[in-house]
Amino acid sequence: LLRRLLHERGGIDPADVEVRFDAPTKEMTERLLHPALSFFLIEAMENTDLRQGGPGPARMMAEGQSTRRMPPRRIDLRYVVSAITTDSGDEHRLLWRTLATLLRWPQLPADLLPDFSRLIEAPITARVAQPDEAGGSFELWSGLGVSPRLSFSYILTVPMDLEITFSAPLVLTRTTRYVRSSIGDADTRQAIGGFVRDADG
């Protein structure tokens, strides 16, 4: 998805620049034949600010039942993005162009999404991390055993469908009785709720 975004929307020629998702270790960089962009996934955690509480509206009907589906959870995927070249000027230019492309798309284009993402009906949003959520880059490079590189943190928020559904009758009937304490007679009222649908649903 990110590879297509950079190649098709960012104008970065795949014949000239690789887009990789493995750790930018010394061994990986030594094997490269072309300049590369590294999207190293360093963290995945739920975005609880976007969590929705109850199930969504009724969507399917079968044998007198309506099915409601719990909305997807939203997961933040944090990447550390860096450019790997033999020339520092090329590195800065490539990273600058990548940053400009990613900032242009705060919501990833629907036509680039895989089919299963479209079925969930939740967008994939993106942002460049701010300093308070970017994490320590020096520790990352030290842990990988390479010299520090110019980089930025990029966060994709993707939906995760837990496939939790609830079924209930299409028509629900409720009976409420009121009793007058002085006389003892009871009034009965009925409420019927549901949906009336034509042949097209």
75 falls in which pLDDT band (50, 70, 90)? very high
* Average pLDDT over every residue of 101-106: 93
Amino acid, single-letter form, for residue 99: L
The whole-number pLDDT of residue 40 equals 93
- Residue burial 162-184, b: 16+ Cβ < 10 Å; e: rest: eeeeeeeeeeeeeeeeeeeeeee
The whole-number pLDDT of residue 39 equals 95
Mind listing the pLDDT tens digit for each residue in 130-170?
766 656 667 788 888 888 888 899 999 998 887 777 676 66
Per the model's pLDDT, the better-predicted residue between 162 and 128 turns out to be: 128
Asked if 5 and 112 touch (Cβ cutoff 8 Å), the reply is: yes
Mind listing the pLDDT tens digit for each residue in 11-69?
899 899 999 999 888 888 888 888 999 999 999 999 988 887 766 655 656 666 777 77
* Average pLDDT over every residue of 169-197: 68
Return the DSSP state at 50: G
The whole-number pLDDT of residue 33 equals 85
Q: Closest by alpha carbon to 34, among 19, 56, 49? A: 19
Q: Closest by alpha carbon to 82, among 42, 112, 45? A: 42
Q: Closest by alpha carbon to 158, among 52, 44, 20? A: 44
Q: What CA–CA distances, in Å, run from 106 to 73, 126, 140?
A: 19, 5, 26
The whole-number pLDDT of residue 104 equals 93
First to last CA, the chain: 35
* Average pLDDT over every residue of 193-198: 74
Judged against a pLDDT cut of 80, whether residue 78 lies above it is answered with yes
103 falls in which pLDDT band (50, 70, 90)? very high
| CA angle centred on 22, ends 18 and 26, rounded to 5° | 90
